[in-house]
Amino acid sequence: MIKVYRGELLHFLADPAKVALQESYQHIEDGLLIIKDGLVEQVGEASELLPLLDDGIEVIHYENGLMMPGFIDTHVHYPQTEMIASYGEQLLEWLQNYTFPFERQFSDLEHGKKIAEFFLTQLLDAGTTTALVFGTVHKESVEAFFTIAQQKKLRMICGKVLMDQNCPDYLSDTAQTGYEDSKALIEKWHKTDRLQYAITPRFAPTCSTEQLNKAGQLLAENPSVYLHTHISENTNEIAWVSELFPDSKGYLDVYDQSNLLGRRSVFAHGVHLHDHECKRLGETESSIAFCPSSNLFLGSGLFNLKQAQKYDVNVGYGTDIGAGTTFSMLSTLNEGYKTQQLRAEKLSPFQSFYLATLGGARALDLEGTIGNFTKGAEADFIFLDYHATPLMDRRMHHCKDLSEKLFTLSMLGDERHVKATHIMGERVQTAIAVTT
């Protein structure tokens, strides 16, 4: 089945930090996106492609806005949806006081499904079409999430949290049960439709060495699954890790000793990484999820994007709900820009949108599958409206070029500007059904 969309188009072909800017993206003022059976067939100038279309093919015209690949959220916790905006703490106290008690509810499959439905609707409304998602320690939380994501035909990655120490008994697994539950979930869900599994040790403080080693064993047994965890987010957390693991050479080394680094390993935050750690992430092709709204909300620090780029580490953006304060990738770009300003570094609008799309796909080792409009990629894409709000409308009238338009979208944009979200070429219904 062929579907054709017409309008202004943007997608990235390379990292603007690494090649000449003009080579990093394709921008077509009046373009066509031709989709065949849910996959990108062709993009190009409307004037060239329209005459080649068979008679009678409907062309959906999106005007006064920009079509681009769906956003990719490389780190988010679906069970924390309803605890967003919990006041006043930094990481370790925030986990104890709010997060752990809250995650207890996810032993209930039906509760998980209800929250997954709401969470995924929020993501789609924000223009995010793929995410790397934490469940809770309960296998039911992942069962619930994948069930709903499958119904919506989404490309989603999720995993059951592993934690066997320094957490409440009601949230604790063991090295062995964590291994067995994860293995069963991999067998049932990994590569089912567009779903993929991530082995998910919460972070070093809540995992024994035995558990981390079991995670490494499971990863070696299933090389196509992901590894998803947190690292170096908060200075008290880092000090705690060095007390808990006195034999390690540092935070990253705890994971490295258990063989958890690699091309499909995603480490959230990395706010306080040493150069040698960044170098090791780069040489193992591991990725970092940059989560600016969370880092500011929890007072964790200012991510050093330049350091990651220097060591060739793949970086994607993460919202990190519920420490993050928005589902919107556009708002997250805003926070990312301001984070870099506070480091006296410039984050260009092209770099921002690269990180939110192709950069995210690369961080998830999914280039060619999602993240741009290369032939054969899954046609998950969005239409951003330049005039959805009066303020954006006024500002846009003064924009002279694409760079200014992108910057305006990233500073003033949010869910209101995501006019349409498409999954495998089909526009999806994104009206929010508020559930209690």
Instruction: Enumerate binding residues for Zn ion (CB under 5 A).
Output: 268, 320
| Residue 99 binding partner per list Zn ion, ligand GUN, none, with a CB distance cut-off of 5 to 8 Å that depends on partner kind | ligand GUN
Q: Which among 267, 183, 268, 174 is positioned nearest to 217, based on CA atoms? A: 183
The C-alpha atoms of residue 351 and residue 262 are separated, in whole angstroms, by 24
Q: Which of 164, 233, 256, 385 binds ligand GUN (CB under 6 A)?
A: 233
Instruction: Compute the least distance from the CB of residue 95 to ligand GUN, in Å.
Output: 6
Neighbours of 401 (CB within 10 A): 7
320 lines the binding site for ligand GUN (CB under 6 A): yes
The C-alpha atoms of residue 406 and residue 84 are separated, in whole angstroms, by 28
**Whether 267 contacts 244, CB under 8 Å:** no
Ramachandran region, residue 269 (left: φ > 0; alpha: ψ -120 to 50; beta: rest): left
53 or 83: CB nearest ligand GUN: 83
Instruction: Compute the least distance from the CB of residue 229 to ligand GUN, in Å.
Output: 8
What residue has token string 């800017």? 21
256 or 320: CB nearest ligand GUN: 320
Instruction: Compute the least distance from the CB of residue 56 to Zn ion, in Å.
Output: 49
DSSP one-letter string for 78-119: GGGGGG-S--S--HHHHIIIIIHHHHGGGGSHHHHHHHHHHH
Q: Which of 119, 203, 354, 407 binds ligand GUN (CB under 6 A)?
A: 203
Q: Which among 137, 263, 103, 131 is positioned nearest to 207, based on CA atoms? A: 137
Instruction: Compute the least distance from the CB of residue 109 to ligand GUN, in Å.
Output: 21
94 or 381: CB nearest Zn ion: 94
Q: Is the N-terminal amide bond of 322 cis, ω within 30° of 0?
A: yes
**Whether 11 contacts 68, CB under 8 Å:** yes
For residue 181, report the phi and psi dihedrals to the nearest 5 degrees. -65, -40
Q: Which among 252, 247, 276, 250 is positioned nearest to 262, based on CA atoms? A: 252
The separation between CA 247 and the C-alpha centre of its own chain, rounded to angstroms, equals 32
3 lines the binding site for ligand GUN (CB under 6 A): no
77 lines the binding site for ligand GUN (CB under 6 A): yes
211 lines the binding site for ligand GUN (CB under 6 A): no
Instruction: Compute the least distance from the CB of residue 73 to ligand GUN, in Å.
Output: 14
Reading the block at residue 175, the tokens are: 């090295």
The C-alpha atoms of residue 382 and residue 7 are separated, in whole angstroms, by 12
Q: Which among 269, 162, 252, 172 is positioned nearest to 215, based on CA atoms? A: 162
Instruction: Compute the least distance from the CB of residue 201 to ligand GUN, in Å.
Output: 10
231 lines the binding site for ligand GUN (CB under 6 A): no
252 lines the binding site for ligand GUN (CB under 6 A): no
Instruction: Compute the least distance from the CB of residue 291 to Zn ion, in Å.
Output: 7
95 or 281: CB nearest ligand GUN: 95
What residues are paired with 25 via a beta bridge? 12
β-pairing, 65-69 vs 381-385, is: antiparallel
231 or 406: CB nearest ligand GUN: 231
Interface residues for ligand GUN in 362-401 (CB under 6 A)? none
| Residue 194 binding partner per list Zn ion, ligand GUN, none, with a CB distance cut-off of 5 to 8 Å that depends on partner kind | none
294 lines the binding site for ligand GUN (CB under 6 A): yes
129 or 206: CB nearest ligand GUN: 206
Stretch that binds ligand GUN, among 43-51, 91-99, 105-113, 254-262 (CB under 6 A): 91-99
* CA dihedral sign of residues 186, 144, 78, 361: positive
5 or 94: CB nearest Zn ion: 94
Q: Which of 28, 35, 49, 95 binds ligand GUN (CB under 6 A)?
A: 95
| Residue 211 binding partner per list ligand GUN, Zn ion, none, with a CB distance cut-off of 5 to 8 Å that depends on partner kind | none
> How many chain residues are in contact with ligand GUN, going by CB under 6 A?
11
For residue 237, report the phi and psi dihedrals to the nearest 5 degrees. -60, -45
* Interface residue list for ligand GUN (CB under 6 A): 77, 91, 95, 99, 202-203, 230, 233, 294, 320, 323
